Amino acid sequence: MFGQILSTLAMLWEGARRVGFAQSVRTVLYRPRRVWYQTRYRSALTPIPTPLQNTTAAGNGLLTVGDVQQVHRTERGLALHCTHGYCTIEAISPEIVRFRLVAGPPMPDYFSYATVLEPIATTVEITEATEHIRLQTPGFTLEIRRHPFGLSFFDPQGRPLMGQVDTVGWCSDGVLWQQQLPEGVQLYGLGERACLMACRGRHFHLTTMDPESYHFGEDPLYINIPFLVTLYGGLATGMLFDSTYTGNIDLGNRRPDHLQYTNTGPELRVDICAGPDLTAVMDQYTALTGRMNLPPIWALGYHQSRWSYETAEIVRDIAEQFRRRRIPCDAIHFDIDYMDGFRCFTWNRQAFPDPPGLIAELHSQGFKAVGMIDPGIKVDPNYSVCVDGIEQDVFCKLPDGTLFHGPVWPGECYFPDFTNPRVRRWWGEQYRGLVEDGFDGFWNDMNEPTIFGGTTFPSVVQHDLEGRGGDHREAHSVYGMLMARATFEGLNRLRPNRRNWVFTRSGYAGIQRYASSWTGDNVSEWEHLRLTPAMLMNLGLSGLSFTGADVGGFAGTPTPELFARWISMAAFTPFYRTHTAKHTPQQEPWSFGSKVEEIARTYINWRYRLLPYIYTAFWQCSQTGLPIMRPLVFANPGHPDYLTLDDQWFFGDHLLVAPVLTPQTDQRRLHLPPGLWYDFWSDEPIQGDRVIRRSAPLDVVPLYVRSGSVLPLAPLQQYCGEHPTSPRELHLYAGSGVSFLYEDDGETLAYRRGAYHLTRFHLQQDGRRLTLTRSGEGDYVPPYPRIRLYLHGVQADSIRVDETDAQPFAQGLELPRAGWETLSFLLA
């Protein structure tokens, strides 16, 4: 009791410091109110059927499905009646199989917030034997054991793709899936996890939660993507445990040789992607759950944020300093203090008297404006959004029909039911005023959903769930994704030919269809710098590639050394934003002295120079799901050292990044994959397939380029598109290989109608001759008329363009962008 009193007093004190005494009191009182809701309305919870309630066969709270008793063939696979339970196993594509288990027939109609892939016609061969049933497609073979039920999964050559599934059924935690973890299996993905990339031996909660500032090992976090990637004997498989109900997954923590998954919902559903390599798994998974939309190119630039830039004058000063100091920046973010009393879709007119004028000024200087929006709508009879929301019946309710409310930033708030299509459309329309004011992008926060006091909605809150009806147990993990969906779809209606950009703190499997994200309220500590690449790569392996971390950390204050290492490293991550908390010192690139400012300027400049290359990597991701930031295990999944290597990565196809992630260090030990590599800074050629040491003082991020690469570079610019007609550069790294350059207008949806240009470069070195051949497709004509050529790793005496006579070559030689197919260099 004494401990509870101390905890309550501590919460009051911290709350009073952050949001005021009255709000702090609301926060403290919400917790017992939530418990009271749970108790009062418990009988209104949607019943979840389980055979455990109706049988005496369960031992120790465990009931397996038992034996396969009846087999029925379906259009795409099998329906199996077991001793306890009914399951279907169906091929939804040649490489993806869906397993579903319920207590008994009929199988409910299929519904998923995660998946969008309609079943593809697939050749399915079924062979029945006494002990086994075999289901085979061109992409995999599934062997089903009859007595007792079990599953084994093989590639077309008969190689096992993952450990045998030896138990499915029900336990005290809900539905159960258990499979063997053979020695050598490694596991990745599962969305946002505050741990290193390789997950074997860990246990995770599958839900969404705001942990506030978090540390290594804290679980769960904001994003729940229950997609697990396995590597076994060099072969990759993906498993989507598709349930929005709370779940748990144990990856060999309790039993080192077994994986166990449970969720509290009525159905066990697992979609398995057969691979057999990581590239194929990502293609299959993002075909299943949807691809990332190609973002506007400005979103790939540098973003500056703070909680908060509290007045228009402060925003103007930040913008002016970026331009005066010649530090590129594309976006300034408006945190919650731009609002009137934290009321969403409003402005604080004392601090921001002329929002359209302010944003127009930013636009004239090449900046974009990004505004934060939370889901909570203040309970206020004088607040038009609240009044209209009540009239339109959009807010979540308790079982007795009263509106649910809880304390967040504005005070007591109502919350839209984003599981209702009509409500999503209403929400999208609320952005009209801010869009007219000029905002370019939006930031959806607090949507786990979070209520002050470290809590969320009571489970008894009712939801529409696309007309199916249900409660918050099913809606919780998908609430944030559906808020982002409502925002994205609303902006698409308001600006139909624009690439509308949303980023969200919370999400579920498939969130990449609507938004990008970041790793939430990280901390200004070296531990978090070390966590960042591992977290981002696991998010990429979960289908969410456009992610980043708050540079320098959100909570606390980085040292100059930490900030310098962070802002230089983050130049080679997909989302590049500095953000920090209220009551902390300023955290702009110039906030840590002239030496750190110059380091920040240098790496932000390189970010902008590399934008054609980075944009091409984003295009690849939008087409195939291939992560922008890839672990080295992509290069060699059979290499034992690569299985757990997560402090260096591929950034796109051709760059290898190996930053320093520890303090007071000026050396970096790193792995170079097989092949020839060039040091980006010195052009030194280094043979790979070995471990090397590289000097790495504070201003150096070790960076390597694959031989045979063509790197397209943009001119130095202060924002995307500042110099559209200036020559682009092509940097050729001696060797043989294939590279791509994707270009379009960077703003509209015209690329979907053919207004893009994709160039394929083939570089071939043969003795003293280096030949570049290019081909292209698409109707877009880039605005720059000329290119400049640079060679790395070799020197050339002359160059021949197509069939013309040879001419002397010098670095930076200019040629027309169009009108040629082949360049041939005679090497010195």
Catalytic option among 521, 550, 653, 745? 521
Residue of 90, 219, 437, 448 with catalytic role: 448
Please, what is the angle between helix 355-364 and helix 312-325, to 10°?
A: 0
Residue 132: closest CA among 142, 123, 140: 142
Tokens representing residue 456 in the block: 């969320």
Q: 710-713 and 690-695: which strand pairing?
A: unpaired
Label residues 17-38 b or e (16+ Cβ within 10 Å = b): eebeeebbebbbebbeebeebe
Distance CA 660, CA 647 (A): 9
d(CA 2, CA 6): 6
Residues in the chain: 828
Would residue 471 show up in a list of annotated catalytic residues for this protein? Answer: no
β-sheet bridge partners, residue 765: 770
For 802, other C-beta atoms within 10 Å of its C-beta total: 10
What token pair was written down for 296?
């506007």
In angstroms, the CA 812 to CA 68 distance is: 71
- Separation between Cα atoms, residue 569 and residue 392, nearest integer Å: 47
H or E segment and range at residue 725? none
The backbone region for 274, taken as left when phi is positive above 0, alpha when psi lies in -120 to 50, beta otherwise, is alpha
How many separate helices (H) and strands (E) can be counted in the chain? 13, 51
Q: Which residues contact 86 (CB under 8 A, 6 or more apart)?
A: 79, 80, 101, 102, 103, 104, 105, 107
**Other beta carbons within 10 Å of 748:** 16
Instruction: Choose the catalytic residue: 95, 283, 374, 445.
Output: 445
Calculate ∠ Cα 252-258-261, nearest 5°: 85
Query: What is the phi/psi pair of residue 591, to 5°?
Result: -85, 0
Q: How far is CA 664 from CA 1, 283, 550, 825, in A?
A: 46, 41, 22, 45
SS3 sequence of 489-516: HHHHHHCCCECCEEEECCEECCHHHCCE
Q: Which of 647, 621, 650 is nearest to 634 (CA)?
A: 650
Instruction: Give the side-chain half-sphere CA count within 13 A for 773.
Output: 8
375 contact partners, CB below 8 Å, separation of at least 6: 415, 416, 418, 444, 446, 447, 449, 479, 483
Per the annotation, the verdict on 521 as an active-site residue is yes
Name 772's bridge partners: 763, 823
Residues with Cβ within 8 Å of 104's Cβ and at least 6 positions away in sequence, in order, are 51, 85, 86
What DSSP designation does 121 have?
A: P
Q: Considering only CA atoms, which of 207, 210, 193 is closest in space to residue 446?
A: 210
| Cis check: omega of the bond before 308, within 30 degrees of 0 | yes
The residues pairing with 801 across neighbouring beta strands, listed in sequence order, are 823
Structure tokens, 311: 């007045």
The Cα 329–Cα 321 span in angstroms is 11
Return the structure tokens found at 484.
């982002």
Instruction: Provide the pairing of β-strand 757-766 with 769-777.
Output: antiparallel
What is the spatial distance between Cα 462 and Cα 243, in angstroms, rounded to a whole number?
Answer: 18
Active site (annotated) includes residue 445: yes
Cα separation, 672 vs 266, in Å, equals 48
Name the residues annotated as catalytic: 445, 448, 521
